[in-house]
Amino acid sequence: MNTNMLKIVSLLQKQESPLVFKIVVILLGVITAFLVVFIISRGVFLFFEMAFVEFFKKKQFFIHFYFRKKKLSQNYRLILKQEFSFYNKLNPIERKNFEHRIQYFINNWEFIGKEIEVTNAMKVKIAATATKITFGFRDYKIQCIDKVVIYPRTYFSTINQQWHKGEFNMGYNALIFSWEDFIKGYAIEDDNLNLGVHECIHALHFSFLKSRRYNTSAAIFLDTFLELTRDLDADDALKQKLISSGYFRAYAFENQFEFISVLVENFIETPSEFRSQFPNIYGKVKMMLNFNFAGY
Ligand SMILES: [Zn+2]
């Protein structure tokens, strides 16, 4: 037994020990009471919010609330201002919230370069892409991702023996990008191709499927998408127009997952054209992402 342990034991053996125990018991009681009240209040809040989302309006009671807002460091903010046009479309309050969330991703995701050095610009642009597509939700953390792997250009996947530009790898909890192709997604901002947005939506979709039962952000995203697919099933002419217009690339019609990702790529890149060609579908995607900022 070391000297510190002996001191504690002798302290407890002294006459005052009942008082020490009383204080400890009272403290534990107070902490437990606070925890119980917190857990019950949170449960009641989430119950009412879920009922509101499911039966009244697809809106969360609040989106942004942080005990301590993280400040983005100056060099990251500079990259954001100069190289991420979406950020400049936000108002000052939205920018602060946007920066907080970018800093969260930079702090919590591991960025791994494969034959390439990870730069600040890579971290900022990837984190900003994830922040952009989740900015309408309170639950923005994309829980199924904990790392980002970056290759300089297209990479060969030994899993399916194919060359890839990027992917969401659910087994590895990772977003994987060819940096050359990630950058191309932003080089032309209105060609409806954005690798970063595409893969982030796959990850978000997967993460929401897992948390739908208790997560109102997931409920808004998935239930609105379900409404959209029902609308399309009920309107054959609209469905045909969607396919024949050529506005959405053919890959959208591979399956539901690709459909969601391509819908959002088009929504982000060419909102005006989307709205004028398919106003109802545009409205649904806007509702699905709760995207009520930056002029959308
Ligand atoms: Zn895809």
pLDDT of 291 over the 90 cut: yes
pTM listed for this prediction? 0.88
Look at residue 189 and give its three-state secondary structure. coil
The CATH label, of 3.40.50.300, 3.30.1380.20, 1.10.472.150, 1.10.1520.10, for the domain at 74-289 is: 1.10.472.150
Sheet with 147-151, side-by-side order of all strands: 110-113, 147-151, 174-178, 166-169
Ligand 1 centroid distance, CA of 296 (Å)? 23
Ligand 1 centroid distance, CA of 256 (Å)? 10
Mark out the alpha helices in the chain (DSSP H runs). Answer: 3-13, 17-55, 74-83, 85-88, 92-108, 120-134, 179-187, 195-211, 216-234, 236-244, 256-269, 271-277, 279-289
Ligand 1 centroid distance, CA of 266 (Å)? 13
pLDDT at site 173: 96
Ligand 1 centroid distance, CA of 47 (Å)? 33
- Gap between the Cα atoms of 21 and 29, Å rounded: 12
For the chain, what is the mean pLDDT? 93
Extract the tokens encoding 51. 């009922």
Ligand 1 centroid distance, CA of 198 (Å)? 6
Ligand 1 centroid distance, CA of 249 (Å)? 12
- Gap between the Cα atoms of 180 and 185, Å rounded: 9
Ligand 1 centroid distance, CA of 3 (Å)? 62
User: 39 falls in which pLDDT band (50, 70, 90)?
Assistant: very high
Ligand 1 centroid distance, CA of 259 (Å)? 8
Ligand 1 centroid distance, CA of 262 (Å)? 8
pLDDT at site 19: 84
User: 234 falls in which pLDDT band (50, 70, 90)?
Assistant: very high
- Gap between the Cα atoms of 295 and 287, Å rounded: 14
Ligand 1 centroid distance, CA of 145 (Å)? 16
* Host H or E run for residue 51: helix 17-55
Domain boundaries, the chain: 18-57, 74-289
Which residue did the predictor score with more confidence, 86 or 15? 86
